[in-house]
Amino acid sequence: MMQALLMIALLFFADEGFAQVQLEAKSLYEDDARIPGVIIPLKLSGDILTQGGIAFSANVKSANGADCRIMKDPFLPLIYLLKCASPSEVQVFFKIEKSRQLFELQVGPIDINYPSGTQPLDEDRPPNPEVLRGKDLFSQCVNCHKSSDLRQRTSDQIKNAIQGVPDMKDLTNLSAEQIRLIAVYLGTL
Amino acid sequence: MNKLSQRFTAFFLFAISTGGALTLFQNCAMDPQHLSSSQLSQADFFDYRYTSAPNFFSDFTLLKLSDTNDDFSEFKFVAGVTHPGDLSTPIEYEVRILAPDGTAVCPSQTGALPAGKSSLVFNCVNVSRVTEVRVVLTVSANGKSDTLEKSYR
């Protein structure tokens, strides 16, 4: 697995002549996890960064014009996140500033593609509304049960419990649909 | 009259130079609305979900295997999972691929990614046609855990 990408740094605008430094930008994911739609963390390292250098910009260029973007992790200063919406070969350009000198690190090309023999599905990130409704209905059960103890319970199991356990008689007003929604919620735990 | 003319000329020069300066730097001010929409757009694209420094980076996608029988459902799950810093600790994982009613589309996958391994790939086959699935990935290590859920159709 080629985990490390490239580690070439060139100097721009050096005050005291041309200089060369070594920097590294490493993908934290292996090759087979670099696919469209997946956020790929890249980690910068190198002496220049431990000696006061600050990475202040990053740009990504896609060979085929795909929508590929990069952002700095808001919490981890040396981590950048790369994502492409569709297959592409990309190059990433980091700029690092130290002592009023500007260094550029060029990384890539990085191939971001689907595994052969596969095709993407439509992704829907918002939570399933049925899960939210099921969670809401489960609030009637929390006086006696912890949701984690009932993980993966089916509708039939819940229905049997309501009919068989005397302390659950108050829940006999739940409809079959409401029981199903509770089961959907418990299935996510 | 001469004084008035000098004052007028001075005022005229002042107005011209001030106007020129304002014109020159008119685009230098921060546009909060533009920044905001740009940042929002970036956040939407990445769907960045952490509210503090993440203990793990994990993301995945579910793909459809091409050229499969329409009566079957065959998926390929691909995930990247790693620590941001300490790459030497194994990460435990659980992947559940569920139908909308909560039943498993295929057996859940559990295990531990050995140190240095950051990808998780497996195929999921169901003998019926499944058009909508939810995928839940839970990773844990050192007493911390993270769950990511996505839906596909």
Interface test with A, best of B134, B137, B148 (most A CBs within 10 A): B134
Tens of pLDDT, residue by residue over A12-27, are 333 344 456 678 888 8
Q: At what angle do helices A155-164 and A176-187 cross, to 10 degrees?
A: 120
pTM (global) more than 0.90: no
The verdict on B54 touching A (C-beta cutoff 8 Å) is: yes
Cβ of A183 within 8 Å of Cβ of B98? The answer is no
State the Cα–Cα distance between residues B148 and B84, nearest whole angstrom.
17
> Torsion angle, CA of B121/A38/A126/A181, rounded to 10 degrees?
0
**Closest alpha carbon within chain A to B101:** A184
Tens of pLDDT, residue by residue over A131-166, are 778 888 988 888 888 877 887 688 888 998 998 888
pLDDT in tens, chain A (189 residues): 444 343 333 333 333 444 566 788 888 998 888 999 999 999 988 877 877 777 778 889 999 988 999 988 888 888 899 999 999 999 999 888 888 888 888 888 899 999 988 988 887 765 556 777 888 898 888 888 887 788 768 888 899 899 888 888 888 889 988 998 888 778 666
Q: Are A180 and A186 in contact (CB under 8 A)?
A: no
